[in-house]
Structure 1
Amino acid sequence: MTTEVTNIWTDFHKELKAFILNKTRNSADTDDILQEVFIKIIRNMDKVNQAENLRHYLYGIVRNAINDYFRNRKQIVDNAEIEEKITEEETQSLNSTIAECCIKPFINKLPDNYRDALLITEFQDISQKDLAEKLNISYSGAKSRVQRGKEKLKELILNCCAYQSDKYGNLIDTEDKNCGCS
């Protein structure tokens, strides 16, 4: 078997390498792909020996390897682009900005007990358990207060901006997103 692989290498490696390089335009990737091709040849030597046209069969393996290369490269590039678009720090900053300018004015319209519960848990990053201790109420009472506050906040926003929701409570896209109330 090693003689057969050596013969294939001697007869075809320069030709296959030139073909791969023409497609990838990258010599390091070309070497990697050529290596993968010969690994496949070694693993499937019985099929290679049965091929009617060896050159045609080898180019089929090469084309598949090149397709795999571009498919994997596209996924890597797509993931890198997504990661580069917005960092975690930028996400936090954006969320904070939205909360300060868009949500806080609505929270300030809530009754004091709900407003305080939401401001403490959502903006001061204090747990509901700590909220209960701070307000000297039960833990379940604190949870209920935060939950009711969120429901009332949702009502204020929906009533002001006239957003519609589907039967599951998800917001439905509207044409006029600038409601102008705060």
Structure 2
Amino acid sequence: MEPSSACGEVAPVFLEYEEKLKAFIRKRIPDEEESKDLLQQVLLKLYRHCEKLPEVKNMQAWVYQVSRNALNDYFKEAARRKSTHQPLQVELQLEGVEEDRLQKEMVEYVRPLIALLPLKYARPLIMSDLEGYSQQQVADHLGISLSGAKSRVQRAREKLREIIIECCLLELDRNGKLLSLDIKDSCGCMQKVKEEVRQKLAEG
């Protein structure tokens, strides 16, 4: 079987085991949104290794091994974020933000950075943390449960934190106070925003 043909078999294999994998992952990750995200990661991993399909003798064992690897990666990343020596402590709430240049600059970057999130995460985060809606109002607006809204906002904050770390060069003191801020050259989508923000702040 050619690799391209083998990759075409991934979807049927995934669909065959999808419900079992969903239960397997949910037992280990109670959060519904995160467990769904991880299930999609399993599918992506199956596609990445689809060339191995013709050699697989026990399909169920292989699929579960890929799922275990995805879970291991998930828990390692969660542990890394939890134990980082310089946790990112940039508050998204606008009330009480210090009126110094760096804080103003960070606030200017928040919306463009949030815009890089998938809409399902960007909208509830904007409503909750920038527009001041309660999480019950967010839930009502989106037509989801309160627990679902809380989970989505929390997940959005985590994803935004990852984007900020990926796109921004931040220097923090031991108390988490912002000392310096810049946009990485590798984050091309934010370069224009960076110039606009700097110009806006220079004009007062």
Tell me which protein shows more helix as a share of its residues: 1
Query: Which TM bucket (shorter chain)?
Result: 0.3 to 0.5
Which one scores higher on RCO, CA 8 angstroms, separation ≥ 6? 2
* TM superposition score normalised by structure 2: 0.39
Larger Rg: 1
